[in-house]
Structure 1
């Protein structure tokens, strides 16, 4: 299986994956629409696009165009479907855009695989930990629980902790495993759940193995510094580089499982190469949790820029409090082992950012959009 199609292959994850596959002797085709939000108004100046330019079979096209799918699937052995609209906040008011791209584009892929002649032997899709919503917790009185979205009546009073859905007392976060309840709290999360389930249903019906990776918070060199809607390290870096103060939501103690780009690409290649793997869903993370306040202060220190880090108490409806992926299943089935610690990864990321042009800080604009929709408090 040497011919690999990567949708969204000019983006952050896709470009890094493409280079690694080429180094290992694969032939890579990329389908990408070169979105302005990610690549800017001139794709030829895009860092990630330039990583793969003239190294892959590049098809500029759209996942919502059936004829584009026919072009790229013809001689493909494995599809790695990364193309998607990303970011939980923006998804709450650009609903049609997210559903059309993430669900509609995937439906067109599956229709082509089902109804058109092809040689595809495996489908790998990028899902997200967003499918879990708040995730898995433990209540002192009720054991394992899967709480719903946090309520505004608590958050407006500065209580940001997750509550038991039965007794409403504070609960303890646990690593969320793949068998946890799926109940996304954002449109983005819903589209990823639908995408997963569509692929599993159709894959089973046509005898096509499907692997879905529920990525935690991916970061690293190459992550777009232009996009103010997703990628907290990139967003904070652009803010700092513009000399602007950082506004930390809630109390700054919300945590994320930050997983380095190299660990993500390693996991995908394991899925491509392990032929005994049938259809599975895997968490992909670092196994570590890091709070947002630590991220902001670490970046500020490493850049040596004297900006204020303000813990504001603002919050966004639909945001989760914590996330940490349980990695036992992917370690057992694929032999996956995260290699890059957050300390090492953030240093690599900062070194890369220091070599890039300072991008315009559009974060305030993105927050204003959320305020206007009543999603930012």
Structure 2
């Protein structure tokens, strides 16, 4: 399976994967629409991600919402790695049709072609997301393992952001989320990722194509877009810091995420491509460690050796989850995956890279205002 198509292959993960696969001797084709939100107005000049693969891969500029573009890109491919997607959790709550069109309908077009037209695809890797777990897995003293519903405004408006369970509002203890955990996304983005994953895992086996789904946690590292104010907390905070602006932290700053370094994501994905043990399986990919947002902000300031104010605002966004970190037992046992980078090691590599980049405009206030006008930012 030497020929691999990466949709969204000019993006953060896709471009890194493309370069590593080419180094291993694979022939790589990339389908990407070079979105302005990620790549800027003139990608050949403004996008280091695109420039890193330009003239190295077979590049097809096009959209996964176009059947013709899919057909051009799929010709002769053995493996499809489907990364192309709209990815902002908050933005998904008001650009609903766009997220459904790109993420769900784009995947449907792929599967329709595979089901009805001659092709030689043998495996499809789908980039799923930790967002499909919603508020994730918790332990209750009274009920044992529970999967709480989305948080409600009556608590959060009073500064209580912890996840509750039942009518009594019982406090819970967060647990690592395994692949058998309940799927109940709390955002449109999460819903679209759930749909993508389920379509791939359901349809591909009926066609004799091996499906693999990776539920990625919060991916970061050198090369991620510093232009996009809608996703990527490390890049958003870094752009604020580099502009001399203060960092505004939502909720109480104690919300946590599992940050996984880009090289670990690429390695896990290649294991999925190359290992038959991955076929038909769904895997979490993360570091397995939860880091709170206040710690993220302080570590960034320490690495950049600057001081800007950190403000814990008490504001919150509808659709955000409180905590999530991955249980990696399955991917370790089946594929032998082990994350190589701690958060401190990966963050140092990321901030060293940011220090070499031009300072981008801080457009985070614009994204907040878009949510505020729609009643999604409280």
The Cα of 1:277 is off from its aligned counterpart by 3.0
The aligned counterpart of 1:37 is 37
**1:257-268 counterparts in 2 under 5 A?**
257-268=258-269
Scaled by the length of structure 1, the TM-score of the pair is 0.99
**1:49-60 counterparts in 2 under 5 A?**
49-60=50-61
SS in 2 for 1:352: helix
The aligned counterpart of 2:16 is 16
| Counterpart-to-counterpart distance in 1, 2:78 and 2:209 | 11
1:325 equivalent to 2:326? Answer yes
The aligned counterpart of 1:77 is 78
Compare 164-173 and 124-133 and name the one that shifted more.
164-173
Indicate conservation of the 8 Å contact 1:147/1:162, yes or no. Answer: yes
SS in 1 for 2:222: coil
| Counterpart-to-counterpart distance in 2, 1:269 and 1:260 | 15
| Counterpart-to-counterpart distance in 1, 2:156 and 2:236 | 24
The aligned counterpart of 2:360 is 359
| Counterpart-to-counterpart distance in 1, 2:307 and 2:285 | 34
1:117 equivalent to 2:118? Answer yes
The Cα of 1:230 is off from its aligned counterpart by 0.3
| Counterpart-to-counterpart distance in 1, 2:212 and 2:110 | 15
SS in 2 for 1:355: coil
Indicate conservation of the 8 Å contact 2:277/2:334, yes or no. Answer: no
The aligned counterpart of 2:132 is 131
| Counterpart-to-counterpart distance in 2, 1:330 and 1:87 | 26
The Cα of 1:166 is off from its aligned counterpart by 5.6
| Residue deviations 1:139-166 (CA, integer Å, cap 9, x gap) | 1101110011101000011111001136
The aligned counterpart of 2:148 is 147
| Counterpart-to-counterpart distance in 1, 2:105 and 2:89 | 18
Compare 281-290 and 271-280 and name the one that shifted more.
271-280
Change in Cα spacing, 1:265 to 1:291, as seen in structure 2 (3 Å) is same
Indicate conservation of the 8 Å contact 1:146/1:165, yes or no. Answer: no
The Cα of 1:252 is off from its aligned counterpart by 0.6
**1:249-264 counterparts in 2 under 5 A?**
249-264=250-265
Change in Cα spacing, 1:208 to 1:165, as seen in structure 2 (3 Å) is farther
The aligned counterpart of 1:339 is 340
The aligned counterpart of 2:103 is 102
| Counterpart-to-counterpart distance in 2, 1:123 and 1:165 | 40
| Counterpart-to-counterpart distance in 2, 1:102 and 1:360 | 28
Indicate conservation of the 8 Å contact 2:122/2:208, yes or no. Answer: no
Can you give the 5+ residue segments of structure 2 that lack an aligned partner in the other structure? none
Indicate conservation of the 8 Å contact 2:87/2:231, yes or no. Answer: yes
| Counterpart-to-counterpart distance in 1, 2:145 and 2:288 | 20
| Counterpart-to-counterpart distance in 1, 2:313 and 2:72 | 50
The aligned counterpart of 2:210 is 209
The aligned counterpart of 1:179 is 180
Can you give the 5+ residue segments of structure 1 that lack an aligned partner in the other structure? none
What CA RMSD, in Å, does the superposition of the two structures yield over aligned residues?
Answer: 0.8
Indicate conservation of the 8 Å contact 2:29/2:57, yes or no. Answer: yes
Matched length: 377
Q: Runs of 4+ in structure 1 displaced over 4 angstroms?
A: none
**1:168-317 counterparts in 2 under 5 A?**
168-317=169-318
Indicate conservation of the 8 Å contact 1:74/1:117, yes or no. Answer: no
The Cα of 1:329 is off from its aligned counterpart by 0.6
